[in-house]
Structure 1
Amino acid sequence: MGNNIPSKSYSRCPNEINKTTVFKQEEPQTWCCCCKKQVSYRIPALVYLSDDRTFLAFAEKRKTLSDTNAEVLVMRRGTWKDAMSQEVEWVSGQQLLTSACLPDHRSMNPCPVYERESKTLFLFFVCVPTGVSEYEQIRTNKCRGRLCYVTSKDAGKTWSHTTDLTADVIGEEMKEWAPFAVGPGHGVQMKSGRLIIPAYAYRYTGNPNCTSFCCLSFCCFTSYALAFYSDDRGITWKVGNQLDVESCECQMAEIIDDKGVSTLYCNARTTLGYRTEALSYNSGQDFATVLSPNKLIETGNGCQGSVLSFLQQSDPPITYLLYSHPSNPENRVDLGLYLNKTPLDSSGWSDVPAMILHHGPSAYADLVEHEPGRFACLMECGIEHENEEIAFLLFELPAKKL
């Protein structure tokens, strides 16, 4: 879901240490979504595999910036050298994930999750028929996407063939959905072992008796977040219930309180001017509590954001939440990092960003923790436009913020 209006020129932040371009838009540099010669990269997703000290960065390779011109998923591999150098060495060149596809479909929205017991990396994505737009699925009130994944047992060096879960997992529920997608960004493995893949699906919410063309438009459809989940290390999957409030592209995080009780948190994009935040007390089967006071602002018509839980070392350990999103309420600029030390209470979010990860145009991003207290971000950013490149950045939180 793009916002491809050029932004004014910004200078680079002097404090962007260890910022590395992972994917870069290819010539010619033009912001015309119809330009068929423009190769672009969008929709970043990031995972860290601690056993291999390896970051895997994923994105969509597109003919243009347009969602409809997505083609294939791509990946780059980076090795974290050591804590002293704070450097990641990236293998030159990108890997086309040619097995992550279906014939005559485009692959979109990479969403990785690592299953720690079997040491299996799952990469979820959606496949949409070539040339079929999100608008076309809305106009016809028909979902055309497929829920798919590939797996790797060797830290992304090789990948399985695509597994299509659509019929077995979504089944008849597809008749109630228009477009749907996973993530984008990382999934979660909970303390219990349950694997969580965040997702959302549009449903028709207009007049049920109206079938005219004028009513089959975005204003008559609303997106609602949900989770796909597995309790057997990814052998079988189920679909949870959707939230009952508007919630689009989303990420989820596990919050563990001082008594060891687990709660699944959802943070989702909306068109309401603020983010939807919700809690699940049954690990994603449904989200019974929608949080307020809607403290996290949305940007313009909305933008994807990333959320991550981490343990602040104490006795007992305390869960904090990190959230990244453009900090400007109108435009996709100044990617901010926000901190909540009381994550079950949405009023705990900081009023201003704890850090600005990129000054200037910036949009979608994905956060991971690679060592206790050490984090990485994969983000769309640029000098004149947010889709000039997808860059990688290592960072630590300022001590005074913790």
Structure 2
Amino acid sequence: MSNKVSCPYKPANSWETVFLSKEKEVYRIPALFYDSDKKLFVAFAEQRRTTNDASAEMLVMRMGTLKMEADSDKRSVEWLELKPVKEAYVCGYRSMNPCPVYEKTTKTLFLFFICVMEGVSECWQRFRGRNRTRLCYITSKDAGQSWSGVKDLTCLHEIKNWATFAVGPGHGIQTETGRLIVPLYAYTPCKPLYLNTPYAMYLYSDDNGGTWQFSSRLRTKSVECEMAEVSGEAGLKFIYCNARSEGGHRVEAVDKNNGAGFVTLPPAEKLVETGKGCQGSVLSFPPYPSQNHNQWLLFTHPSDKSKRINLGVYLNKSPTDPYAWSKPWIISSGPSGYSDLAYIHDGWFACLVERGEQRETEQIACVVFHYDEVKRGIGE
């Protein structure tokens, strides 16, 4: 039986393969950064020997330039050759979960990732309550053409109390006040150890990446997550979190106290979770065409309740209202998995996603689309 579904409206631009899997070389876990000054994309992924998490070998990247087709409103990306991110490495560990975040003042791209001890799985750490994961990042001043050496933040005191943890995957954000935010989740030990529970939270810096600390965690069981800065009533800014779960629907929460505490929103019935869960991407963007100073949300995730198929784009014009989500616009029918969104400008977006004909691990591909297409796709 085919996993394909009919799409009422498909993106005007075609999908472009960015990372193509083959035998003993599988690409997973997409992350996307767009440099608005240079009009440049940087796409990241894990290169693995197999689809298994424990077979991850290194992080890789491709840079791409946004192009406008002549006599057309279509956009495309011209991708350069694949490059290993050799600096994102700690001897004896495998690098995983790319999570880029950009600091606008110093024009510095931070690439966060985790380093997991070779031969050790997440389950091994959870069931024994023994963390074997390191929190690392590298930086670039030239949009990824060259990188610094590895900086290790595993010394942050909260980490010693965790069974294990991971950043993102997907993008981090910088708020209007300049705060850098890196999404993550951690398993907090309990007895018996096999009942360790994951909670989403974020790592943040208020001094351009000089020092880092952790926010409070969500109060609801939650795993891989992404964050967005949005506006509430009276224009007050707060942090919105959208996280993976095992409860049949996504976990949404808001932090209005600068890292002091998350409040979980009621279940968003339209944002179904897939089977045992799947990562999804969320970002905030200015209303198009411009109407006010509030931010809207765009979210991508497989739309099926049981399988990783039929990637949907969801729109919410009232971020504090979990009932305000649109139905999904299916932009990739068939197998689809992890994704990452980037906002370009003037209502244009890019989505990097795992997809394929038979399995979602066949390739990581990118598509560029406009807000008008979102409206049409969701039936507005």
TM-score by length of 1: 0.88
Task: Say if 1:258 and 1:317, in contact at 8 Å, map to a contact too.
Answer: no
**Which amino acid in 1 is paired with 2:59?**
L
Question: Does residue 87 in structure 1 map to residue 73 in structure 2?
Answer: no
Identity of matched residues, % = 49
Match of 1:338 in 2: 314
Provide the secondary structure at the position in 2 that maps to 1:81: strand
Matched, 1:266 2:241: yes
**Aligned twin of 2:25:** 39
- The answer to whether the Cα contact below 8 Å between 1:226 and 1:286 also exists between their aligned partners in 2 is no
* CA distance in structure 1 between the aligned counterparts of 2:62 and 2:109, rounded to whole angstroms: 15
Amino acid at match of 1:341: K
* Matching of residues 63-74 of structure 1 within 5 Å: 63-74=49-60
Does the Cα contact within 8 Å between 1:12 and 1:383 map onto a contact in 2? no
Q: Distance in 1 between matches of 2:15 and 2:290?
A: 31
Match of 2:17 among 12, 18, 21: 21
Structure 2 matches for 1:130-279, cutoff 5 A? 130-167=118-155, 170-171=156-157, 173-205=158-190, 208=191, 215-217=192-194, 220-257=195-232, 259-279=234-254
Secondary structure of the structure 1 residue equivalent to 2:37: helix
Q: 2:199–2:223: 8 Å Cα contact kept in structure 1?
A: yes
> CA–CA distance in 2 between the matches of 1:223 and 1:391?
29
Q: Which residue of 1 aligns with 2:297?
A: 321
Deviation at 1:319, TM superposition (A): 1.2
Note closer, same or farther for the CA distance 1:285–1:183 as it changes in structure 2 (3 Å cut): farther
Query: Normalising to structure 2: TM-score of the pair?
Result: 0.93
What SS does the aligned partner of 1:175 have?
A: helix
Residues 196 and 284 in structure 1, CA contact (< 8 A), matched pair in contact too:
no
Question: Is the CA contact (8 Å cut-off) linking 2:5 and 2:310 kept in structure 1?
Answer: no
1:52 aligns with one of 9, 30, 38? 38
**Cα deviation, residue 294, structure 1:** 3.1
Flag structure 1 segments of 5+ consecutive residues without an equivalent.
1-6, 28-37, 209-214
Distance 1:258 1:11, change over 3 A: closer
CA distance in 2: counterparts of 1:216 and 1:240, whole angstroms: 24
The residue type paired with residue 337 of structure 2 is: A
Q: Does 1:76 align with 2:76?
A: no
Q: Alpha-carbon deviation of 1:8?
A: 4.9
What is the root-mean-square deviation in Å for CA atoms of aligned residues?
1.8
Question: Does 2:357 align with 1:386?
Answer: no
In 2, the alpha carbon distance for the partners of 1:239 and 1:293 equals: 25
Cα distance in 1, alignment partners of residues 6 and 111 from structure 2:
33
CA deviations over 1:183-222 (Å, ceiling 9, x no partner): 00000100110000000001234xx3xxxxxx443xx111
Tell me what 1:62 maps to. 48
Q: Give yes or no for the alignment of 1:348 onto 2:324.
A: yes
Q: CA deviation at 1:245?
A: 1.0
- Report the Cα distance in structure 1 between the residues aligned to 2:291 and 2:125, rounded to whole angstroms: 51
Give the Cα separation in 1 of the matches to 2:243 and 2:249: 9
CA displacement at 1:235 relative to structure 2: 1.0
When the two structures are aligned, how many residues end up with a matched partner?
369
Asked if structure 2 preserves the Cα contact closer than 8 Å seen for 1:239 and 1:285, the reply is no
Alpha-carbon deviation of 1:387?
Answer: 0.6
Q: Deviations over 1:254-292 (max 9, x none)?
A: 0024633111000000111111100001233431x1100
Mapped partners of 2:74, 2:315: distance in 1:
26
In the alignment, structure 2 segments of 5+ residues that lack a partner are none
